[in-house]
Structure 1
Amino acid sequence: MDTGKRISSLRKKRGLNQEQLATELNVSPSTIAMWETNKRALKDESLTLLADFFNVSTDYLLGRTEDKENGPTLVAAHLDDDVSEEDMEDILKYIEFRKNNPLGKKK
């Protein structure tokens, strides 16, 4: 699903029409229409405004994840060359665990 469709879907789930959402976000109704049809790209400030309003991640709005609450989780920025095979196995197990149990995920 593209960004415009996600915005439209989230808006409809809230029971809002484009004019109501525009009022809530202090933008014009035509801006909402252009976002939803992908005729206007989202600026960073608009992206965060929408994410905050709908209580979803910016990664969800951009289609980078299907998880509305959390974007990708950075486990490690780099690994040292001297990591043992046993340590590497533990790291990989932890990564798999985090994938299945994201931080902040409500149960």
Structure 2
Amino acid sequence: MIGQIIKDLRRSKKLSQTEFAKIVGVSQTTVTAWETGKAEPSSSAITRIADYFDVSTDYLLGRPEKKLSSEEQETKDLKKFLENNLDNGMTFGDGKVTQEDREKLEIALTQIFYRYHDEFKKRKEEKGGFKF
């Protein structure tokens, strides 16, 4: 099962086995063995693969992932957005965003998120559902 998942992920990125092997730090023969079910990756390889494809190790192992409540999921997504965008050389127009700007943006986005989230929750409770 893990072999098929790795193969599907690798193909989704249009990587050859050789290219993927270099990324993960193993031989192409090892990748072939994983994908054909003749061998299984070590725990450290599983971690590197999960990190590269931005999936959980549970996903790679074919285990059902724990479902987060919608509130936890929204918070997680906001945090990921902020980490991925505010700390990676963000620019605005032609200007570089400074550390102070990033901190202000993080505060503003967080406030907007929670204001929207509370309003959305309130409307949903009042109307028994909310449609966009």
Q: TM-score range by the shorter chain?
A: 0.5 to 0.7
Question: What fraction of aligned residue pairs are identical, expressed as a percent?
Answer: 36
Instruction: Report the TM-score when normalising by structure 1.
Output: 0.63
Measured on the aligned residues, the alpha-carbon RMSD in Å equals 2.1
The aligned length equals 76
| Pairwise CA distance, 1:37 | 1.2
Q: Find the residue that maps to 1:103 and give its secondary structure.
A: helix
Q: In the aligned structure 2, how far is the partner of 1:40 from the partner of 1:17?
A: 18
Q: In the aligned structure 2, how far is the partner of 1:36 from the partner of 1:102?
A: 37
Instruction: Say which structure, 1 or 2, has more relative contact order (CA 8 Å, 6+ apart).
Output: 1
Structure 2 match to 1:13: 12
Read off the aligned partner of 1:4 and give its amino acid letter: G
Q: Does 1:72 pair with 2:72?
A: no
Q: In the aligned structure 2, how far is the partner of 1:64 from the partner of 1:27?
A: 24
Structure 2 match to 1:77: none
Please tell me whether Structure 1 or Structure 2 has the larger radius of gyration of its CA atoms. Answer: 2
Which consecutive residues of structure 1, in runs of 5 or more, have no partner in the other structure? 66-70, 74-96
Q: In the aligned structure 2, how far is the partner of 1:6 from the partner of 1:57?
A: 12
Structure 2 match to 1:37: 36
